[in-house]
Amino acid sequence: MPLLACHERQAWERLRGIAVHSGLILTLDGLAPEGGEPQLWVVRERVSGLTLRSGWLARQDETTLINFLQPIADLNLPVTAIMSDKQRGLVPAVAVVFPQAKHAFCQVHYLDNAAEPVADADEAMKVALRQEVRTQLGDLIRQEQVESSGVLTVTGLLPLPQPETISPQPPQTPEQECETVRQDLRRRIRYLLTLKGRPPFRLAGIQMFERLREVQDCLEHLIARHPDPLLTQLQQGLQNALQTYQPDYAILRQAGDWLEDISALLNPQDKAVRSGNQVKQALLDYLDKIQPESQAAPNLKRFFHTIQKTTRSYAPGIFHCYDVPGLPRTNHDRESEFRDLNRRLLRTTGQKGLTKRILQREGAWELIPRPASLEQTIKAFSQVEPEEFQKERQRVRIHRNRFRLHTRSAKQSQVQLHRLEQRWADIHSVDSS
């Protein structure tokens, strides 16, 4: 690491060349501290990717940030623009150290802050809707096919029993096919109750409501094709739960649409070249347009007030990217570096366990000890009997099959549900003939 830092310092001429040609574009951000420890900050030049300063700050106030940034200004190289988040101490510090530079704010953080009350209300609806669905359908959706009481898929020295020889499975009876469809739908509902949000656009409450409504529609189609008591119970339970939260969903959906429209308005892709003032005016015109809509409900009014207030606060910095070539709209490059650093340290230190998803989908096999070297791995694998390998692969498939309908994609969800409807129709067309 010291060698890398020394190597970076050999690029002064390249940095000066960029400064003379177009002026430096600086991006800076800090990694959220843990347990009151100092905060790690990094300043990079956008065009070259060179690290100008990287270190820890005991505080994040104006004086500390001025002291951190001032050595860069002392280089007397032209600085055209700076991209950062809108930290309270950073804004005045940049104004002092780089008075001639345009200070751009991350548009994603702008949208995050504008969406904050929407995200809070969405999370509250998600929790309440989940509880209502469990109240209506808890006993039904918890039912699961098991090897023996409480036991699902098993591997190891005493794995899930398999036939001594692998032979084609006999065709399922119509009732078995029906039970497979019922099981898939129960698993789909159970999965949808676990959705987590990622504001400003990935709002789990809205997604849960819409995906559950798709399942309800699917159930209605299946029942219309061939009545089934269990499917009827599922459909009625979902209908009752969704009707209870339909008003909350309608308000959140409208606020979510506002945020998506603002994001689309800010996005320059597939649009004519616009100046910062033109984009700013378009955003202000849009806010004027939706203000009458916000009077329809108290929550809509509150959501709109936050969007309007946040826009005023961020307006000095979120439009420079349309006027300065090479200036990004977001500060994601710095944040992705922090994420990559966290992942790399996690990978090398093993301080935290595997993620929940890996544990759920691969955990049993992950617990099996690994050979210590490539040579030992090859030796171990060469001793595996092909038939035993086929059995084990089948166990993996059986287990992974439980997560077949675990998707947040609306398009993929609709395709899967359509396939279930078609399968149900095929089963009962054979039945009736």
DSSP string across 157-182: SS-S---SS--PPPPPPHHHHHHHHH
Report the top-level CATH class of 2-105.
alpha beta
3 state DSSP class of 198: strand
What is the 8-class DSSP label of residue 23? -
Q: What is the pLDDT of residue 148?
A: 54
Of 289, 269, 265, residue with least CA distance to 279: 265
Measured at the CA of 258, the angle between CA 200 and CA 291, to 5 degrees, comes to 135
Domain ranges in the chain are: 2-105, 114-152+173-311
DSSP string, 349-389: H--S---HHHHHHHHHHHTSPPPSSHHHHHHHHHTS-HHHH
Would you give the distance in Å from CA 11 to the centre of its chain?
37
Q: What is the pLDDT of residue 388?
A: 82
Burial of 77 (0-12, 13-18, 19+ CB in 10 A): middle
3 state DSSP class of 57: strand
Are 65 and 57 spatial neighbours (Cβ–Cβ below 8 Å)? yes
Q: Give the separation between CA 382 and CA 265, rounded to whole angstroms.
A: 59
What does the buried/exposed string (b/e) look like for 345-367 if buried means 16 or more CB atoms within 10 Å of the residue's CB?
eeeeeeeeeeeeeeeebeebeee
Are 105 and 319 spatial neighbours (Cβ–Cβ below 8 Å)? no
Q: What are phi and psi of 246, to 5 degrees?
A: -60, -45
Q: What does each of the 433 residues of the chain score in pLDDT, given as a tens digit?
A: 666 676 677 778 989 999 999 999 999 988 776 556 677 888 889 988 888 888 888 888 999 999 999 999 999 999 999 999 988 899 999 999 999 999 999 999 999 999 999 999 999 999 999 999 999 998 888 876 555 566 777 877 777 666 555 556 677 888 889 999 999 999 999 999 999 999 888 999 999 999 999 999 999 999 999 999 999 999 999 999 999 999 999 999 999 999 999 999 999 998 999 999 999 999 999 999 999 999 999 999 999 999 999 999 999 999 999 999 999 998 877 777 777 766 766 676 664 543 345 445 665 566 466 778 989 888 888 888 888 888 888 878 887 787 788 888 899 999 999 999 998 998 888 666 6
pTM value? 0.80
Are 107 and 330 spatial neighbours (Cβ–Cβ below 8 Å)? yes
Q: What is the pLDDT of residue 336?
A: 77
